[in-house]
Amino acid sequence: MFHPLDIFKADPDGTVLWRGAAENFVAARACIKKLALSSPGEYLILDQPTGQRTLITLPDTSTEPESSIGPSVVDTISM
């Protein structure tokens, strides 16, 4: 099955690391939420068919209550 959304972890030095793929934006956000439990920070969702990129930042959950975990879209860039 083709998953059109690629998920990348964005490092502070500007490099990105592919972390997985998803069928839709809801599934991509759920995957990022799970990944951020062990590696908080910025994640990039790339929509392969449209080229649209969405940057999501998740806080460090080790010091915050569970209820505050949630992505916030920082920037959306269309190509």
pLDDT digits (tens, 9 = 90+) for 4-54: 999 999 998 989 999 999 999 999 999 999 999 999 999 999 999 999 999
* Rounded Cα gap, residues 37 and 50, in angstroms: 29
Both structure tokens of 18: 């592919």
Decide if pLDDT at 66 tops 60: no
> Rounded to a whole number, what is the largest CA-CA distance in the chain?
38
Q: Note the pTM of the prediction, 2 decimals.
A: 0.73
